[in-house]
Amino acid sequence: MPKIKKQAVTLDELDRRILNQLQSNSRLSNAELAKRVHTSAPTCLRRVRRLYETGVITKEVALINPELLGPMVTAICEINLENQSDEALSDFEEHVTLSPRVLQCYRVSPGPDFVLIAQLSDMSGYRELAKQLFASNHNIRSVRTFFSVHCSKFETAIPV
């Protein structure tokens, strides 16, 4: 995720309607978005710009259906580190987030130090990822990986 100022932004009902619409379809024209949220086009444009400027909206993306790209393996990895100093945690985080196969990285508590979600082409792809990210890191105490056999829900929209 991009580094943005972590300052709470006050959202009113119009901002929330705009965000809900954009999370559903970010390709709406400003005129169509304004119509759907019941405001004027200039007001809507100002609000959307403010949502970007304040970091509420960080980017727009195209979501890809992985099932149509061929066989894939989703790995959920729990990682425990030997040393949990701020520097060690940040170093590990920086290292794993550079991998394009790691889709999500969470520092968690209690339990493992990190949970990673990785998308791989097959089990040999996982072995290569594990070798690259975990095997050479002497600060890793343990890695426990689960492989998804079915996804019943995958959502990107945040309730606002």
pLDDT in the model for residue 120: 95
Asked if the model's pLDDT at residue 1 lies above 50, the reply is no
The two tokens of residue 71 are 């066989």
pLDDT at 3: 52
Cα dihedral sign, 87-89-94-99: positive
Fold that domain 66-147 belongs to in CATH? Alpha-Beta Plaits (3.30.70)
* CATH class of this structure's domain 13-53: mainly alpha
Average pLDDT over residues 140-150: 96
Backbone angles phi, psi at 69, to 5 degrees: -95, 0
Report the chain's C-alpha Rg in angstroms.
20
Per the structure block, which two tokens stand in for 2? 């991009």
Query: Between residues 35 and 67, which one has the greater pLDDT?
Result: 35
Q: Give tens-digit pLDDT for 20-63.
A: 999 999 999 999 999 999 999 999 999 999 999 999 999 999 99
Domain ranges of the chain: 13-53, 66-147
In this predicted structure, what is the pLDDT of residue 65? 87
Domains 13-53 and 66-147 in one fold: no
Strand, coil or helix: 143:
strand
